[in-house]
Amino acid sequence: MLQRLSSFSSPSLPNAAGGLSVFLVAAGMATPALAATPASALEQQQDDLAAFQVIAHRGASGHAPESTLAAFTLAHEQGADYLEMDAQLTADGKLVVFHDDTIERTSDGTGHINDYTLAELKALDVGTWFNQANPEKADDAFKGARLLTLDEVFEAFGHDARYYIEAKSPALNPGLEDALLAKLKEYDMIQAGRVLVQSFNQPSLLKLHEQSPALPLVQLLWYYPDEENAGQLKEWTDVTPGSGNVDDTDFQTIADYAVGIGTNFIYEGAPVISADFVDQAQDNDLRVHVYTVNDTDDMQTLLDWGVDGMFTNYPDRLLELAR
């Protein structure tokens, strides 16, 4: 009706914004000028987190070499809500996207990533290993893939994608928080609602929260049986007690600086969290994102539990189930 009214010409409807507004208000309709102020991009991001999120773990890394442009592009094309990645610093202070502390698993080099300059890391092949490990998925296009800087990822996808970035191993990457915040601000990722930052390191997250309260953070947790304590579940960095003993106070402590938790589901074939754990976290205003879920039966179990998102190497599988 509004479209028809806007194109209707009549002496009784002056061609002026004020006259049209009066007419529409009298008719019980809102004009753009009188409508509620739209949510900010950050508010929209928070609203979107209320829906289930498909988080592409190092890109579509079940189909292409992890943390490469090929993996991120495929995940984006498949419709993942977030591109997940790890940020580390090179020896010359450049932010690169790479998971391991050492480079030999996913490149033709050896040693610690922080010991190399960006130029040295750019000489590495980070794609051929995937073809060797997954001959059924091998693609000549993966050969010679180059390690990415965070700049290159942002320049490739801009604000068309959302990013779920782990501030990786702060003890091995001194100054990482400052460098990451500067880069996020340079590309206007925070106010544009395009980024979540995650870490296992609570002090690192607290530092980020202090410097940028608007930046949405996720506290990573990893539960495993403690052999020194009769197999009782333990959290790796002691951010919480074991998952069966977490109380509201523990979750509220996290909620003071984070919008959610990222937790493992399985350890050596056995679940380490429960539906009650998920419910309790959510009751304390925390989103629950579970990593790294590649089996469709596990995906369905967690969907039935009502988790808020999952990290997966196969976003296509999860999208098929969740959507």
* Residues marked as catalytic: 57, 99
**Cα(310)–Cα(312) distance, rounded to whole angstroms?**
6
**Could you please report the per-residue DSSP string of 76-89?**
HHHT-SEEEEEEEE
Task: Please name which of 189, 217, 185, 243 lies closest in space to residue 49, comparing C-alpha atoms.
Answer: 217
Q: Would strands 287-291 and 260-264 be described as parallel, antiparallel, or unpaired?
A: parallel
Please, what is the Cα angle at 58 between 90 and 293, to 5 degrees?
140
- As a whole number of Å, the CA-based R_g of the chain is 23
Contact indicator for 147, 96 with CB cutoff of 8 Å: yes
CA distances from 86 to 3, 164, 198, 200, 313 (A): 47, 8, 9, 12, 14
Q: What is the largest CA-CA distance in the chain?
A: 86
